[in-house]
Amino acid sequence: MREGKVAISHFAAQVIRSVAGFGTTFFIARYLGAGDLGIYSQALALLFWIKLPGGSITSAASKRMSESDTRSAAFFSAGLVILTLYAALVGVFMLLLRDYIDSYIGLDIALVLALLIAVNLIFDLVKSGFVGLKRVSISGWIGTAEQLLRLGGQISFVLAGFMVIGLVYGHALSLLAFCVLGLLMLRSELTIPTRQAFSEIRSFAQYSWLGSLKSVSLSWADLLVLGLFVSDQLVGVYQASWTLSSFLAIVGGSIATTLFPEISALDSENQYDRVRDLLDDALIYTGIFLIPGAFGAFVIGERLLRIYSPEFSIGNEILVILIAARMVHAFGGQALNALNALDYPDIAFRINGIFITTNVVLNVILVYQFSWYGAATATLLSSLLYFVISWREIILRLGGVEFPILEVGKQVVASTIMMLGLYPIISYTPPSNYLTIGLVGLGASVYALVLLGISKQVRAKVFSLLPASVNL
């Protein structure tokens, strides 16, 4: 029950955050166009690749903090020291390579990008610190508040005439503000780290860094490769499609974030039956948005993308493929999240290595052959392989875990009924943004009602999360 309520709170925060992220993409698309959105997306891709090593430190700090109530401060502080030194090193290199970076992006951006990387690293550690302390809801809401401030700042800078570089200014300043706030909230976790704390973070990070690389590869490898072969406009449309598909994946992300410290603690107590129960629940609800999202995008994907502006409607097929890729990857991600929480970073390392290699190689080959369709297909194929291998490994290590085919099948049935209900309506409605939003609401309502009707388990979970004062 506790995990469900925490996941709901984290999910609510992620919904608002995703809406704010959509607002940012929508504003850029409407005000600056697909070309400038493509430029900004490539700048973000470079950001995430450069800050890559920091991801292993934040995940290692979170893991070690979740294992111990008495030494959490040492682990958090050790992570802060490492990331501060890394940020300083990145700043020096970016200053030396300033001309090359500015030439690649097409903007005078290297210095402000160095600041953005530094505050991004610290902010990630702050959020991971809350997760390690099992204060997952706070982690989710502080990320949401930052996204809202970022949206306001970016709009202000762009309207003030800074254009694309203003997006980076707004991004960096919002992160800086919440780094300060987050560190104040975690001031009890600031101490002089011990040598043992550094050693234990290193022992986990030496494997988990590839998990960070996997996340970056999933989100940004295709954009970097696309930037070499297609126009900025197509990169912008692709990024808009990815943003929509990512919105549907937030349930799975919230579940994984919530369960990581719980499974880690249960592992230290050898309560593996409870771990299996949590993992089974995670699987049932991971696709609860993604599955209907894929079916819905098949019939109204073009209209959804048209909300940005008419030039984005060409990404309909890309959107469907990317949602399918996110769905498969989310199911595999629950297994890999459990492997990390159960302290199998070496196995997760190997799986992530396979995914990254497959994703990058397929992107280069398929983008060269099939343009942006190749990028989306590369993400789908590599995610399928990731799913298969992740589940094979968790079954071998944990045993007694079965994929809930029946419950997921009920979600597919509800999604099919929703799609069949929407399809004839679309033929009689003009391409209006307001009507598109109405169709989304109608489809979601049909799906929810059908799923509640046919799935006893989902119905019981929903009722259990309602306030006790509600009589049903």
DSSP 400: S
Residue 471 has pLDDT above 60, yes or no: no
Q: What is the pLDDT of residues 240-288, one digit of tens each?
A: 888 888 777 776 666 666 666 677 677 667 777 777 877 887 888 788 8
Least confident among 58-72, 188-202, 373-387: 58-72
pLDDT band of 85, cuts 50, 70, 90? very high
Mean pLDDT of 152-168: 88
pLDDT of residue 412: 93
Contact 56, 64 (CB under 8 A): no
Q: How many residues does the chain have?
A: 472
Contact 77, 193 (CB under 8 A): yes
pLDDT of residue 210: 60
Residue 196 has pLDDT above 70, yes or no: yes
Contact 300, 422 (CB under 8 A): yes
pLDDT of residue 465: 57
Q: What is the pLDDT of residues 417-462, one digit of tens each?
A: 999 988 888 877 777 778 888 888 898 899 989 998 998 887 877 7
Least confident among 134-148, 240-254, 315-329, 366-380: 240-254
The whole-angstrom separation of Cα 466 and Cα 468 is 6
Instruction: Report residue 315 as tokens.
Output: 């990404």
Instruction: Report residue 32 as tokens.
Output: 């600056």
Q: What is the pLDDT of residues 47-59, one digit of tens each?
A: 877 877 777 788 7
pLDDT of residue 107: 78
The whole-angstrom separation of Cα 118 and Cα 101 is 17
pLDDT of residue 14: 67
The whole-angstrom separation of Cα 335 and Cα 282 is 9
Instruction: Report residue 5 as tokens.
Output: 């309520």
Q: What is the pLDDT of residues 126-142, one digit of tens each?
A: 988 887 787 777 877 88
pLDDT band of 206, cuts 50, 70, 90? low
pLDDT of residue 277: 77
pLDDT band of 467, cuts 50, 70, 90? low
Instruction: Report residue 370 as tokens.
Output: 């099939």
Residue 118 vs residue 134, higher pLDDT: 118
Contact 268, 345 (CB under 8 A): no
The whole-angstrom separation of Cα 309 and Cα 27 is 10
Residue 5 has pLDDT above 60, yes or no: no
77: amino acid identity, one letter = S
Q: Write down the residue that tokens 């070309």 correspond to.
A: 35
Averaged confidence pLDDT in the chain: 81
DSSP 220: I
334: amino acid identity, one letter = Q
Q: What is the pLDDT of residues 175-190, one digit of tens each?
A: 999 999 989 988 888 8
pLDDT of residue 380: 93
Start-to-end CA distance of the chain, whole Å, equals 18
Q: What does the DSSP assignment read for 33-79?
A: -HHHHHHHHHHHHHHHHHTHHHHHHHHHHHHHHHH-SSSHHHHHHHH
pLDDT band of 10, cuts 50, 70, 90? low
Residue 99 has pLDDT above 60, yes or no: yes
Calculate the CA dihedral of residues 451, 443, 419, 218 and round it to 10 degrees.
-90
pLDDT of residue 6: 58
Distinct helix (H) and strand (E) counts, the chain: 19, 0
The whole-angstrom separation of Cα 199 and Cα 170 is 36
Q: What's the number of CA atoms in the CB half-sphere (13 Å) around residue 159?
A: 8
| Total-model pTM | 0.70
pLDDT band of 385, cuts 50, 70, 90? very high
Mean pLDDT of 63-69: 72
Q: How much of the chain, in percent, has pLDDT values that exceed 90? A: 13
pLDDT of residue 450: 92
Q: What does the DSSP assignment read for 303-358?
A: HHHHTT-GGGGGGHHHHHHHHHHHHHHHHHHHHHHHHHHTT-HHHHHHHHHHHHHH
Angle between helices 2-31 and 272-286 (to 10 degrees): 30
pLDDT of residue 472: 45
Least confident among 24-28, 147-151, 322-326, 361-365: 24-28
Query: CB burial class (10 A; 0-12, 13-18, 19+) of residue 394?
Result: buried
Contact 214, 355 (CB under 8 A): yes
Top-ranked range on mean pLDDT: pick from 91-95, 228-232, 263-267, 348-352:
91-95
Residue 237 vs residue 252, higher pLDDT: 237
The whole-angstrom separation of Cα 326 and Cα 337 is 15
137 C-beta neighbours (distance < 10 Å), count: 19
Instruction: Report residue 427 as tokens.
Output: 């033929």
